[in-house]
């Protein structure tokens, strides 16, 4: 594994704390319907695709996509059952199934190979696409991907009831109880769990998150999507080594950047070196004082690393 990550040296746009989410639309491609948000950038410059994590949505990439837009247009996707993407009938929410839906959608768009970015669950989905549909992926950026992490880590338990949601008998009751918590409190708990320093989140971003939480509560599929995606991700961690996510990573031939927050409470940063080493062309960047959502907590650092990788690939030095 090579750990030196070249950083983009050009000028990036000024971050605006009140920048609203990029415009979204329901779009059908390859027989798949998803909600997407278009992010602007120069024409004929390649294309970036952003995949969010558990409980997240395409709005998680508002700031990062705005910065990367200095070089690349892009598209942030709501995974099936999240954001405004209704799940297809009979969808089982396994990472493999998320990956198949997104890959089919991308293939139908006809963009060719894209710069694929994924956070947490979205990182696992991106990893699966890169391994199984290599022609669709020009570069791969994994932001705290949800690689197997079965240790009992007390830092995850900012609210101990989170662990109870996984139990087969009481889980449904606990999930219902958590959903009944006021949206403002739900968002504050999420910020404490996912950010090293929740104070960096602008008030406009907090308000957007609360509004999105209210909208999500009204969606009939939301609870099932979160529960089953969480359970299916955990099951993927128990897959035999011959088919594990570590084995999948070893199949990826695309240039790959792994970015991890040193203060990640959800998936330990101890998995970061192994993740980057498993990728044949992987490099690692660990960000200090950063949690599980580096694209939201440190968007400028992530943008410089991602664009630095793309420049290095274009120069054939990655």
The predicted-structure confidence for 187-234, as pLDDT tens digits, reads as follows 998 999 999 999 989 999 999 999 999 999 899 999 899 989 999 999
Task: Say what percent of the chain tops pLDDT 90.
Answer: 79
Q: Is residue 13 part of a domain?
A: no
**Residue 10: inside a domain, yes or no?**
no
- Give tens-digit pLDDT for 240-249: 988 899 999 9
Is residue 286 predicted with pLDDT exceeding 50?
A: yes
Q: What's residue 160's pLDDT?
A: 42
Q: Is residue 18 part of a domain?
A: no
What pLDDT score does 233 carry?
94
128-177 pLDDT, tens digit each = 999 999 999 999 999 999 999 876 554 544 444 444 444 444 455 445 55
On whether residue 7 sits in a domain, the answer given is no
CB 140 within 8 A of CB 254: yes
Least confident of 3-17, 30-44, 57-71, 238-252: 3-17
Q: What are phi and psi of 287, to 5 degrees?
A: -100, 125
Residue 72 has which token pair? 């690349």
* Predicted pLDDT of residue 2: 57
Percentage of residues in the chain having pLDDT higher than 70: 90
Instruction: Give the per-residue pLDDT at 175.
Output: 53
More confident residue, 165 or 11: 11
Instruction: Among 90-99, 212-221, 231-240, name the most confident range.
Output: 90-99
**pTM more than 0.85:** yes
Number of folded domains in the chain?
A: 1
Residue range of the domain that includes 59: 24-314
The answer as to whether 82 is a domain residue is yes
| pLDDT for residue 52 | 98
CATH number at residue 201: 3.40.50.1820
Average pLDDT, the chain: 90
Q: What is the largest CA-CA distance in the chain?
A: 55
- Is 70 within the bounds of a domain? yes
- Tens of pLDDT, residue by residue over 42-59, are 988 899 999 999 999 999
139 assigned to some structural domain: yes
What pLDDT does residue 303 have?
98
Please report whether residue 1 resides in a domain. no
Amino acid 227: pLDDT: 87
């Amino acid at each position: 594994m090579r750990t030196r990550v070249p950083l983009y040296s050009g000028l990036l746009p000024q971050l605006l704390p009140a920048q609203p989410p990029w415009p979204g639309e329901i779009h059908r491609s390859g027989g798949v319907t998803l909600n997407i948000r278009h992010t602007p950038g120069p024409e004929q410059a390649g294309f970036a695709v952003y995949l969010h994590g558990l409980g997240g949505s395409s709005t998680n990439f508002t700031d990062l996509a705005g910065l990367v837009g200095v070089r690349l247009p892009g598209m942030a996707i709501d995974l099936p059952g999240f954001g405004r993407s209704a799940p297809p009938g009979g969808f089982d929410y396994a990472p493999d199934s998320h990956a198949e839906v997104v890959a089919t959608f991308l293939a139908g768009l006809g963009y060719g190979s894209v710069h694929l970015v994924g956070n947490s669950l979205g990182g696992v989905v991106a990893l699966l696409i890169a391994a199984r549909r290599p022609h669709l992926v020009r570069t791969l950026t994994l932001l705290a991907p949800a690689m197997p992490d079965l240790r009992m880590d007390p830092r995850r338990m900012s609210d101990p009831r989170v662990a109870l949601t996984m139990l087969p008998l009481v889980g449904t009751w606990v999930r219902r109880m958590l959903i009944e918590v006021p949206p403002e409190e739900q968002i504050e708990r999420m910020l404490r769990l996912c950010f090293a320093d929740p104070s960096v989140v602008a008030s406009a971003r907090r308000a957007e998150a609360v509004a999105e939480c209210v909208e999500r509560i009204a969606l009939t599929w939301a609870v099932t999507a979160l529960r089953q995606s969480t359970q299916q991700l955990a099951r993927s961690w128990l897959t035999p080594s011959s088919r594990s996510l570590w084995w999948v990573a070893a199949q990826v031939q695309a240039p790959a950047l792994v970015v991890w927050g040193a203060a990640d409470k959800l998936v330990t940063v101890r998995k970061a070196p192994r993740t980057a080493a498993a990728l044949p062309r992987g490099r690692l960047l660990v960000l200090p004082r950063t949690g599980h959502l580096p694209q939201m907590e440190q968007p400028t650092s992530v943008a410089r690393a991602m664009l630095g990788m793309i420049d290095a690939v274009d120069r054939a030095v990655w």
